[in-house]
Amino acid sequence: MSQNNGKRALTSKPCFFAGDFLYPMMAGEGSAFTVLLAALEGLTLEGFQEFKTKLSHVHTKGGWNIPEDVLVEATHPSTLVNCMGNSYGEDAAVDIAIGLFEEMNQRDLAEKILDEKVKEYKQKYREHVAREFLRYKELNSCLGENLSVSSRYTALTIAKKPWSQSGGEPEGADVSWGCADTTIAVTAQTLFKPDEDGQTPQTVVLVGAPGMGKTMMVRKMMVEWVEGALYMQFDYVFCIDCKELSLSKQVSMLDLVSKCCPHQRIPAGSILDNQEKVLFVFDGFEALGFPLAQPKDELSSDPREAKPLETTLMSLLKRTVLPASSLLITTRPTALQNLGQCLEGECYVEILGFSAAAREEYFHRYFKNDNKADVAFRFTRGNETLYSLCVIPIMSWTICTILEQELYKKNNLLECSKATTWMGMFYLSWLMKCRGSNAQQYLQQFLRRLCSLAADGIWKHKVLFEEREIKDCGLDWPDLLSLFLNEKSLKKGVDQGNVYSFTHLHLHEFFAAMFYVLDDDEETVSDPEALAKNVNTLLESYSKSRKDLNLTIRFLFGLVNPKSIEYAGERIGCRISPRAREDLLRWLQTRYRGLSHRSEVMMIKELDTFHFLFEMNEKSFAQKVLGCFTGIDLHDIKLTPYDQMALCFCIKQWDGLDSVTLRSCSFRQQQCSEEPATVLPWQHPRQEELRSPLHPLCQALGHVGSSLQNLRLRYTRMTSACCQDLAAVLGTSPHLEELDLSFNTGLRDAGVQLLCEGLRDHACQLRVLRLGSCHLMGTCCQALATHLGENCSLSCLDLSDTELGAGAVLLLRQLRHPACPLQALGLSVSALNEDALQELVALRELKPSLKIGDLLEHDTPQEGAMSRLPFQRGVWEVGGIFAAPCRHGRVVGLGLRALSSRPG
């Protein structure tokens, strides 16, 4: 046999280029075509002739068949390989050769070529992924350049937690998932690694509000997989854009794989047969917008079977098809309830945003100049609101974009943003400058049409718009269209042509909100097919079921702020109508009227109310709304810095606030504490302000004119450091009667000692202090005893479920003082030592009216702090014996002999 001349063989390369970057290639020598040549060279003369004979009967659709005379002349393997490549193309030639070797019972040769083909295809796919994901366009075409993911991406803080802690259906874009003690900080590298129990998750759900960086994080993951730095256990990682996927009707899993691949011919068998080596990434799951409810008998088990999109996806989620594959799903919180019903054994990971260090890093990556970045970051760091907003990546980008254009021109940033709507307004203003004044005269008309498209998309769960829709809406104005919408050519298999989407979902919702407040013109009024501008319909839908409208409504409040209206007219050139203000006011004032109990009607139980008022950022409007309520009652919420800003803004305007209950809520102080992965050149040691997470809330509660009477912060995971701020509240809230800090195990004795500083303030009139189950050890009893011996207003002190040790003796002895006003003492009698029990007997004889027992459990609160004390349930007398229940329900008798002779 003659040797191969090498002209057709593909040489092995250790690396490949994608853009300006060099990536390592997978291990392996040669190519499938080279292996085919070697296989033919290894055949006997008879075998070679048999191969040629079978090849003469091959007929391929769409390819050239090798003429018989050419086959006769191809007497050497290299000549035959060249003929096959020229006639069929290399990929098809290899497939044909594999089939012929199998017919000849040369299965070893067929497998060898197939293995090399699969290995080669893996490399081709990696090169394709690098080209697709390495570079990206900034949010707007005005910026003009494609950026490298590696140069711009800044690591996000993410945390893993079980779905069971979510506390029900999440609400709104800034949903917080309750008070999760088991939240674990994780990285992208650890998502598919075994947990502490040795279990490796097959499905990971990456949850984040709009603008939190989900898509950018996925893009970075794909690049790192190509680089060999991430998820090397997977041979294939297929990233599927759910916005694009939503246009599909009938699909199979093989179709989904094919859409991600660069070539028509893919080694489907190899991919599907090794499903444990495949990771599917579904980005933007909420864009699908359909309910995931399919009968089990309709689900598919065949990856090649085409079914309706909902059925195929349900089959994958329910593991009836490709059960060994792995899934990574990114979604907004609003889609979790729907998604969670379809998954089993999944792992939920929440994007918390940028840490303090990451925010500074992002500014430096954005500006690419340390001096400029320092100026911009110092400006932002000096404004607490702006800095807190930077925790959201999209807001960091927006702020950097605006600062780049405005700050260096020494223009005012309109007193700096106080809410996300301002950022949208600034961004829109900057966009208009990109095209100059020529577009200004058409802006109002174009914006109405654009906003109508956005609102229609929001109602229909639609984020991709076809070319036909753009033209039907009259938006085919190239100078303006490219400012607001991204144009995208769909991948193979989708025949709708180009599609358009808003540059970010956050901005899509911003323009949807603008639809409801932009002034109408004659064209809009006379159009019978125009979407109705009924704000009340929007609000009612949100109240009933459409929680995904949260951001749209939040922007709506911000847009009707008088400053927004003025700014839009002067800087953007569009007219915003204030008519929606009255509808928004009436809705917030009456949204709880349907509740049965008056006490519930008077309580604000939804965090979104504070978000809406904060976006409006108008004190008089907030006061009109809050004047209809007397209290706050929030449960199971992780309060982000933005949540706290909104809450504090409202509290400061709320003169009639008399009750605040935050149960199982946690306070995130900018970000979970974590060490940066690397120390960056611009990072200098800086002592941050050491404030407790409660500091903003306590400052707001202590505002001048506060009428607060009851403050209940149960299960809030506060530490002793928080008590210094709470002590300040005691001194600035003369009407405060009850402070309930029960079940805060991090409070400890040090915290109580700090609280006592506030109790000594002459302005403090506290009557009830609840410190049950706070892991107190008794060293705080000296401070409490000292306070009780002074001119004290305290009537009830709850120290239930604590082991006070020798401190209990000191405290009980002080309670015998005639000037001590205490009427009720919560105490775990079973935890008292002998000396303390003797003191308790003596105290009972001296003050028989003093109620002592476990006060942790109580009925539904009634009016007045003292009326809520559970005397009947916490203490009682048994046959002349004063008794109290211990934690396990056991009744403990206190000095039968001593108490049996007491009067009455």
Residue 837, exposed/middle/buried by CB under 10 A (0-12, 13-18, 19+)? middle
What residues form DSSP beta bridges with 239? Answer: 281
Q: Tokens for 133, please give them.
A: 């994901």
In a domain, 230, yes or no: yes
759, 765, 767, 773: CA torsion to nearest 10: -30
Mean pLDDT of 833-848: 88
Residue 373: CA count within 13 A, CB half-sphere: 17
Residue 880 confidence (pLDDT): 34
Residue 903 confidence (pLDDT): 35
Mean pLDDT of 510-531: 72
Is the pLDDT score of 418 beyond 90?
Answer: no
Residue 325 confidence (pLDDT): 94
Last residue of a domain, one of 534, 557, 578: 578
What is d(CA 726, CA 730) in angstroms, rounded to the nearest whole number?
6
What is d(CA 227, CA 18) in angstroms, rounded to the nearest whole number?
11
Is the pLDDT score of 93 beyond 70?
Answer: yes
Residue 414: CA count within 13 A, CB half-sphere: 20
What is the 8-class DSSP label of residue 570? I
Are 122 and 193 contained in the same domain? no
Residue 613 confidence (pLDDT): 94
Q: What residues have CB less than 8 Å from 443, skipping those under 6 apart?
A: 432, 480, 572, 573, 574
In a domain, 167, yes or no: yes
Residue 74: CA count within 13 A, CB half-sphere: 25
What is d(CA 44, CA 71) in angstroms, rounded to the nearest whole number?
17
C-alpha dihedral sign at 671, 673, 677, 682: positive
Residue 17 confidence (pLDDT): 47
Instruction: Give the number of other CB atoms < 10 A from CB of residue 89.
Output: 16
Residue 768 confidence (pLDDT): 93
Which is more confidently placed, 475 or 598?
A: 475
What is d(CA 549, CA 554) in angstroms, rounded to the nearest whole number?
9
Q: For residue 773, which of 798, 752, 802, 810 has the smallest C-alpha distance? A: 802
Mean pLDDT of 211-220: 90
- Which among 100-114, 472-486, 687-701 has the top mean pLDDT? 100-114
Order of strands across the sheet with 465-466?
465-466, 498-502, 485-489
Find tokens 């990114």 and name the residue: 330
In a domain, 688, yes or no: no
Mean pLDDT of 667-689: 45
Are 185 and 315 contained in the same domain? yes
- Domain housing 739: 695-899
In a domain, 667, yes or no: no
Q: Are 485 and 501 in contact (CB under 8 A)?
A: yes
What is d(CA 473, CA 480) in angstroms, rounded to the nearest whole number?
14
Q: Tokens for 714, please give them.
A: 């149960």
Are 124 and 160 contained in the same domain? no
Q: For residue 645, which of 288, 331, 388 has the smallest C-alpha distance? A: 388
Is the pLDDT score of 825 beyond 80?
Answer: yes
Find tokens 């349930």 and name the residue: 873
Q: For residue 204, which of 239, 234, 242, 160 has the smallest C-alpha distance? A: 160
Q: Are 839 and 807 in contact (CB under 8 A)?
A: no
Provide the total of helices (H) and of strands (E) in the chain, helices listed first. 39, 30
Residue 898 confidence (pLDDT): 33
pLDDT tens-digit profile of 720-740? 889 989 999 988 888 999 999
The residue type of 282 is F
What CATH number is attached to the domain comprising 832?
3.80.10.10
Residue 328 confidence (pLDDT): 96
- Which among 4-18, 189-203, 427-441 has the top mean pLDDT? 189-203
Is the pLDDT score of 205 beyond 90?
Answer: yes
Is the pLDDT score of 158 beyond 80?
Answer: yes
Instruction: Give the number of other CB atoms < 10 A from CB of residue 630.
Output: 18
Are 328 and 457 contained in the same domain? no
Q: Are 81 and 52 in contact (CB under 8 A)?
A: no
What is d(CA 904, CA 897) in angstroms, rounded to the nearest whole number?
15
Is the pLDDT score of 126 beyond 60?
Answer: yes
Query: What are the φ/ψ torsions at residue 658 (nearest 5 degrees)?
Result: -120, -10
Distances in whole angstroms, Cα of residue 387 to Cα of each of 205, 357, 377, 380, 426: 28, 12, 9, 5, 16
Instruction: Give the number of other CB atoms < 10 A from CB of residue 858.
Output: 15
Residue 197 confidence (pLDDT): 79
What is d(CA 278, CA 125) in angstroms, rounded to the nearest whole number?
13
What CATH number is attached to the domain comprising 280?
3.40.50.300
Helix or strand (DSSP H, E) at 352: strand 347-353
In a domain, 819, yes or no: yes
**Cα diameter, the chain:** 126
Residue 385: band (very low, low, confident or very high) from pLDDT cuts 50, 70, 90: low
What CATH number is attached to the domain comprising 81?
1.10.533.10
The gap from C-alpha 705 to its chain's centroid, in whole angstroms, comes to 37
Are 737 and 776 contained in the same domain? yes
Q: For residue 779, which of 798, 799, 806, 758 has the smallest C-alpha distance? A: 806
Instruction: Give the number of other CB atoms < 10 A from CB of residue 102.
Output: 14
Which is more confidently placed, 186 or 16?
A: 186
Is the pLDDT score of 826 beyond 50?
Answer: yes
Are 704 and 829 contained in the same domain? yes
- Which spans in 176-298 are helix H? 214-227, 242-245, 253-260, 268-273
Last residue of a domain, one of 100, 132, 164: 132
90-103 and 77-88 are packed helices; what angle lies between their axes, rounded to 10 degrees?
A: 120
In a domain, 671, yes or no: no
pLDDT tens-digit profile of 620-652? 999 999 999 999 999 988 887 778 888 999 999
pLDDT tens-digit profile of 338-364? 787 788 778 899 898 899 999 999 999
Is the pLDDT score of 562 beyond 60?
Answer: yes
Are 161 and 103 contained in the same domain? no
Q: Tokens for 900, please give them.
A: 């049996």
Are 168 and 300 contained in the same domain? yes
Distances in whole angstroms, Cα of residue 589 to Cα of each of 276, 561, 604, 625: 55, 18, 10, 5
In a domain, 367, yes or no: no
Which is more confidently placed, 704 or 888?
A: 704
Find tokens 């998750």 and name the residue: 201
Q: Are 9 and 77 in contact (CB under 8 A)?
A: no
What residues form DSSP beta bridges with 603? Answer: 631
Residue 142: band (very low, low, confident or very high) from pLDDT cuts 50, 70, 90: very low
Q: Are 380 and 390 in contact (CB under 8 A)?
A: yes
Residue 313: band (very low, low, confident or very high) from pLDDT cuts 50, 70, 90: very high
Q: Which of 285-299, 578-592, 821-835 has the lowest mean pLDDT?
A: 285-299
What residues form DSSP beta bridges with 240? Answer: 282
DSSP for 201-216? PSEEEEE--TTSSHHH
Last residue of a domain, one of 544, 578, 612: 578
Residue 857 confidence (pLDDT): 58
Query: What are the φ/ψ torsions at residue 517 (nearest 5 degrees)?
Result: -120, -10
In a domain, 647, yes or no: no
Mean pLDDT of 572-591: 89
Residue 209: band (very low, low, confident or very high) from pLDDT cuts 50, 70, 90: confident
What is d(CA 886, CA 893) in angstroms, rounded to the nearest whole number?
11
505-515 and 420-434 are packed helices; what angle lies between their axes, rounded to 10 degrees?
A: 90
Residue 136 confidence (pLDDT): 77
Q: Over the chain, what is the mean pLDDT? A: 78
Q: Which of 50-64, 433-447, 456-470 has the lowest mean pLDDT?
A: 433-447
Mean pLDDT of 256-264: 81
What is d(CA 450, CA 61) in angstroms, rounded to the nearest whole number?
46
Are 302 and 165 contained in the same domain? yes
Mean pLDDT of 548-577: 89
Residue 265 confidence (pLDDT): 64
Find tokens 């907004």 and name the residue: 332
- Which spans in 407-504 are helix H? 420-434, 440-459, 467-472, 478-484
Query: What are the φ/ψ torsions at residue 625 (nearest 5 degrees)?
Result: -75, -50
Is the pLDDT score of 705 beyond 50?
Answer: yes
pLDDT tens-digit profile of 841-871? 888 888 888 888 888 854 344 444 444 444 3
Are 520 and 559 contained in the same domain? yes
DSSP for 293-335? ---GGG----TT--EEHHHHHHHHHTTSSSTTSEEEEEE-GGG
Residue 186 confidence (pLDDT): 85
Whole-prediction pTM: 0.63
- R_g over Cα of the chain: 34
How many structural domains does the chain have?
Answer: 4
What is d(CA 695, CA 688) in angstroms, rounded to the nearest whole number?
14
If DSSP codes are grouped into helix, strand and coil, which group holds residue 15? Answer: strand
Are 198 and 71 contained in the same domain? no
Residue 64 confidence (pLDDT): 64
Are 237 and 128 contained in the same domain? no
Query: What are the φ/ψ torsions at residue 614 (nearest 5 degrees)?
Result: -65, -40
Is the pLDDT score of 530 beyond 70?
Answer: no
